A and B are shown apart, each in its own frame.
Chain A
Amino acid sequence: MDKPLAERRCERLILPEPGKKPGAEAREGWLEMQIVVDLTRCQGYAQCVFLAPEVFELHGEEALLYNPAVPDDQLDRVRQAAAACPVQAILLGEEVSAGAR
C-alpha cells in the first residue's frame, strides 16, 4: 500500500513563504499542472466534485466550475477525478512553458 497522501506530497513540496500563497516560486522544479474540462462532453455526473472538492464544484444543479491551475496538494485527487469521470472530459497536463521551443 502506498504511503498516505499527505506524506507523499511532503517529499516533493517546497513550502511557500509564510503568509504567501503557493505561487510560481513555490512550484519551482515542479511540473506546472493544469486541467481543462471538456464541458461539451460533461454531463454533470459530478464524480470529480466528490473526489476533488477543492478543485471542482457544481454551480447550481449541474454547471461545473473548476480551478484550472491544480494546487500541488490536489494533484493526486485530480488524477483520480480525471480517471473516474464517466465521460472522460478532464484533461490534466502541463501548460506550454513560456520559453518553449
Chain B
Amino acid sequence: MPDDLREGRIVIVGASLAGLRAAETLREEGFTGSLTVIGDEPHPPYDRPPLSKQVLLGRMAADAAALPMRRDPDAEWRLGVRATGLDPVGKQVLLADGESVTYDRLLIATGTRARPWPNADEAALDGVFTLRTRDDAGRLTERLAAGPRRVLVIGGGFTGSEIASACRERGIEVTLAERGPGPLVGALGGTLSMLAAGMQRAHGVDLRCGVTVTALRGNGRFTGADLSDGSHIDADVCVVAMGAVRNTEWLAEAGLAAGPRGVACDAGCRAFNMYGIVTDDVFVAGDAARFPHPLFEYQMLSLEHWGNAVTQAEVAAHNMVSPEPARRPHLAVPVFWSSQFGLNIKSVGVPTFSDQVVIAQGSLDERRLVAVYGYRGRITAAVTVNMAKWLEYYQGLIETAAPFPPGPGAADGRPLVAAFPIPSNVPDPKGLFHGPTVALTGYLPDRRLTVVRPAD
C-alpha cells in the first residue's frame, strides 16, 4: 500500500447508492489515485425506493430514477459485469468476463438481491415476478398496466405491502399472503402490524396471514397458487416479495467473514477475515455489511436502509483514505421509511431490539401516531405514522438511552395514550415470509439464545 492513502488504486464493487456515494466521498476527501466502480447491472447508479411506489403507480418510467451525483467521482465505471471472486493475496477482483482488476484498497458494496421463489420451475412461470431492479419494475409495471384480474403478493414486508398498496390504487384486486401473524410484523412488531393489517383490509386487500403458499400453478403462464389452508387463489400475476439475499457468494473463497447475513466488519467498516481478524485493505458498506452498534449492545446489525447505505459509504470512504487516528466510526442510528395505503411510516432505532412498546402520541384509530419501543427500561426505537416531524425528537431519546416508557408529556405535553406499555411482540424472523430489514444477527434480546447456522 502506498504510504499516502490518497494515492493508489481503489476498487468499489457495487454501483448502486453506496458505491456511488463512496466514490464521491473518496474524491471529496482528496483521493487522487485511480478509482474503478464495478456493477453487475448495465445501468448507471439509480434509486430503488421509487420502484415500488411511483413506478408501479405508473407516474414515472422505471428507467427515470438515475441517481444524481454530488460531484463527478472521475471513476472508471465497469457496468454490466459481475464480480465473481476475490483474491485477497494477489489483491485482485475477478470478473465474469474473465478479466481482473487490481486494487490497493477495496470497498464491497454489493448489496442484496430479491429472494427468489424456491421452486425454480414455478418461479419461471410467465407472470411471476420479483421486485428489486429497475428492469424488474419495468416488467411488472407493464403487466399491471395490462389490467390483470388479480395480483398475488407473497410476503407482507415493506416491499410486499407497498406493491399491494400500488395495485389497490390502480384498482387491481390483490391477495397478500404472509406466513407470519401480520404484515410488517417482522420489522415493527405486533401493535403496528395490527394497524397495517387494518389499513390493508380497509383498502380492499384480501389479506391472508398465517398461511404459506405451497405451490404456484400454471402451464407456462401463472394462473394461481395453492395455500396451506387448502384454499386456492386465482391470479394472473404473482409478486414474490420474500425479502432479500445478500450478494456475498462471490466472496466464498476470499477468506472473509462473509455469509448469508453479510460481510462482518468493525465500526470503521473494515471487513473481518474468517478468523475474526480485521483487515486493513477491504472495507464494506451498505446492505452487504454487518456491523456492531453500541446502542444495541454491540450486536451486529444488517440493515437494508437507504440512509445507512449513504452514511456507511461515507464513513468507509473516509476511513479508506485516512490514517488510523483520523478514522471515524459508523454510529448512525438506523432510520427508514415506507409509504403505503396513504400512510407515511418512518422508523428510527431498531424496533426489533425491544421487549415493550407504547403509543406515545396519537392513536391507532387516528392512523397518526408515534410508537416508542423499549428494551429493559430504555428507549431503543420509535416509529411514526404520519407524524414524521417527531422522529428527530425520539432519535435524541434513543441516542441518550432515555428511560422507557417516556414520561407523560415527554413530547407534546399530552398524556400517554396507552398508559401501560405492552409486549412489542417481535417474532422470530424464521417464521415469516418477509425479512425484518433490520436484522439483529446475534439474537433477539428477549430470548437468551444464539442460533448458529453453518454458512450455506
Contacts and interface: CB of A to CB of B under 8 A. Distances in A.
Nearest to B61: A69
Contact of B69 (A60, A63, A68, A93): A93
B322 interface: no
B47 interface: yes
Contacts of A38: 306-307, 310
A11 B256 CA distance: 56
Contacts of B44: 95-98, 100
A68 B72 CA distance: 18
A50 B88 CA distance: 53
Nearest to A65: B54
Interface string B29-73: 000000000000000110101100110010111001111111010
Interface residues of A, number: 32
B60 A40 contact: no
Of the candidates B69, B335, B342, B389, the one having the most CB atoms from chain A within 10 angstroms of its own CB is B69
Contact of B77 (A35, A42, A61, A101): A101
Of the candidates A44, A63, A93, the one having the most CB atoms from chain B within 10 angstroms of its own CB is A63
Q: How large is the interface on B (under 10, 10 to 19, 20 to 34, 35 or more residues)?
A: 35 or more
A96 B70 CA distance: 10
A95 B342 contact: no
B20 interface: yes
A63 B343 contact: yes
Given A43-B391, A93-B70, A68 B50 contact: yes
Contacts of A43: 388-389, 391-392
B363 to A, nearest CB: 15
Contacts of B443: none
A39 B335 CA distance: 10
Contacts of A92: 68
B77 A96 contact: yes
A38 to B, nearest CB: 7
B388 A40 contact: no
A32 B388 CA distance: 32
Interface in A48-70: 59-63, 65-69
Nearest to B386: A61
Interface in A11-41: 32-36, 38-41
Contacts of B310: 38
B64 A100 contact: no
B76 A101 contact: yes
Contacts of B53: 59, 65
A68 B64 contact: yes
A94 B53 CA distance: 23
Given A61-B344, A93-B69, A67 B64 contact: yes
A94 B386 contact: no
B336 interface: yes
Contacts of A42: 337, 388
Interface in B389-445: 389, 391-392
19 contacts: A35-B68, A36-B67, A38-B307, A39-B49, A39-B306, A40-B337, A44-B344, A60-B342, A60-B343, A63-B342, A63-B343, A68-B47, A69-B64, A69-B65, A93-B69, A95-B67, A95-B68, A96-B20, A96-B77
Which 7 residue pairs across A and B have the least CB separation, nearest first? A93-B68, A63-B339, A60-B342, A95-B66, A40-B307, A96-B44, A63-B344
Given A44-B344, A60-B386, 20 more contacts: A33-B68, A35-B68, A38-B306, A38-B310, A43-B391, A44-B388, A59-B53, A59-B339, A60-B344, A62-B344, A63-B343, A65-B54, A67-B64, A91-B68, A91-B70, A92-B68, A95-B68, A97-B44, A100-B44, A101-B75
